[in-house]
Amino acid sequence: MSTSKLTRKVNFYEIRLVGTDRNPVNRDDWHTILPDAHARFLRTKAPNHTVIRNGVEYIGWAGNDANTTVDYLIIGKRRSPADNPGVDNGISMPVPLELEDGLLLVEPVYVIPVSGTPYIATIGSSGCPRSGAIAEWIERKGGYIDQDLGVSLMPVLRRDAVERLQQAEAATALTVKILAASLAENRVSRLRSALQAAKGLTDGDGTISLSISLGRHKSNRDSEVSLLDSIQELADLPEAQTAQARVVVPEGNKMKSETIDFLKDKLTAKVILDGDPNEAPTHAAMIRAMLEAISQHRSQLL
């Protein structure tokens, strides 16, 4: 059997509970969100695996890796047959991929907890569900929506960026640039509301750039923290082109301006999978890759 090196990216998120206003709540429970959702889904008899989000069907499963005993979720984005890729035999023109009746392609993402922390790790195919879809599936299948609670995934930043944010006396400006079509209407924040208004002016097409000067905002002001959280969450959209905040941090007896780039400063890990180039990686291989990435970056996941 021939083998090749398959490269995948592991993403890290802080998983949060939020209230109806999308502000964080119940922080002491964050580290149990994924384990509790996994256990609840397994306990449910004949569970409904599916969530419809923005017209797209997402289906999920709960599993356990026998080698590592790690509990994990697989959440897949179903593709309609009309969206199937073509098949190339290297000789003639590609033909549409046809599957047996009842079969659909699924783009999967694997999700595991970073034990003892409010963080999770994910790895998936190129077209796998993004963080918003993962959060909504957990929110619904974990029963949080029945408690008037939401689930939010916040990209983890590298330690140096986190330290700059923690040291910041104030945020002075925010800059966002994003494709209008990527803005869904089912997640609400003041920043998203402003971007949604701009999206309406473009008829949902084009690119939206938004710059906000915060003037003399003070450190830890609720509106300022909320804006920083919103821009950090927006940075995880694949169509985000810019997501930056300018903050003021102390340097000796003076203050200096620093830029937090929520795209470049995201904590991710590239992993290499050995396998047959004609076959998808096994569940065990994907779980093992995430565990290796967690071990590699454990000092930043505390």
225-284 tens-digit pLDDT: 777 787 888 788 777 889 898 888 888 888 898 899 989 999 999 998 877 767 778 999
Maximum Cα–Cα distance across the chain: 71
DSSP 8-state code for residue 157 = B
Burial 1-24 (b: 16+ CB within 10 A, else e): eeeeebebebbbbbbbbbeeebeb
- pLDDT score for 2: 53
Nearest to residue 291, comparing CAs of 122, 126, 131, 124?
Answer: 122
Q: How confident is the model at residue 212 (pLDDT cuts 50, 70, 90)?
A: confident
**Of 150-159, 174-183, 196-205, which gets the smallest average pLDDT?**
196-205
> What does the pLDDT average to over 37-58?
88
- pLDDT score for 102: 73
8 Å CB contact between 122 and 10? yes
Residue 219 has pLDDT above 60, yes or no: no
Q: State residue 29 phi and psi, 5-degree precision.
A: -100, -5
> What does the pLDDT average to over 159-185?
82
Residues 6+ away with beta carbon under 8 Å from 191: 174, 176, 210, 227, 230, 231, 234
Within the chain, how many helices (H) and strands (E) appear? 6, 15
User: What is the distance between the alpha carbons of residues 214 and 289, in angstroms, rounded to a whole number?
Assistant: 41
Residues 60-112 have pLDDT tens digits of 999 999 999 999 999 999 887 777 777 777 777 877 777 777 777 889 999 99
- pLDDT score for 164: 86
User: What is the distance between the alpha carbons of residues 88 and 105, in angstroms, rounded to a whole number?
Assistant: 17
Beta strands in 54-190, from DSSP E residues, in sequence order: 56-64, 71-79, 86-87, 95-96, 105-113, 119-124, 150-155, 170-179
Strands 207-213, 170-179: pairing is antiparallel
Q: 81 or 216, which is more confident?
A: 81
Nearest to residue 101, comparing CAs of 121, 118, 81?
Answer: 81
Helix residue ranges, H only, the chain: 33-43, 131-141, 159-167, 190-201, 222-234, 283-296
- pLDDT score for 34: 98
Q: How confident is the model at residue 222 (pLDDT cuts 50, 70, 90)?
A: low
Residue 285 has pLDDT above 70, yes or no: yes
- pLDDT score for 226: 74
- pLDDT score for 190: 67
Residues 6+ away with beta carbon under 8 Å from 229: 24, 154, 189
Q: How confident is the model at residue 220 (pLDDT cuts 50, 70, 90)?
A: low
All structural domains of the chain with their residue ranges = 5-156+267-300, 159-261
User: What is the distance between the alpha carbons of residues 248 and 123, in angstroms, rounded to a whole number?
Assistant: 35
Q: 170 or 2, which is more confident?
A: 170
Residue 187 has pLDDT above 80, yes or no: no
Residue 31 has pLDDT above 90, yes or no: yes
Q: Please state at what angle helix 190-201 crosses helix 222-234, rounded to 10 degrees.
A: 60
- pLDDT score for 185: 56
**pTM for this model (two decimals):** 0.85
- pLDDT score for 186: 54
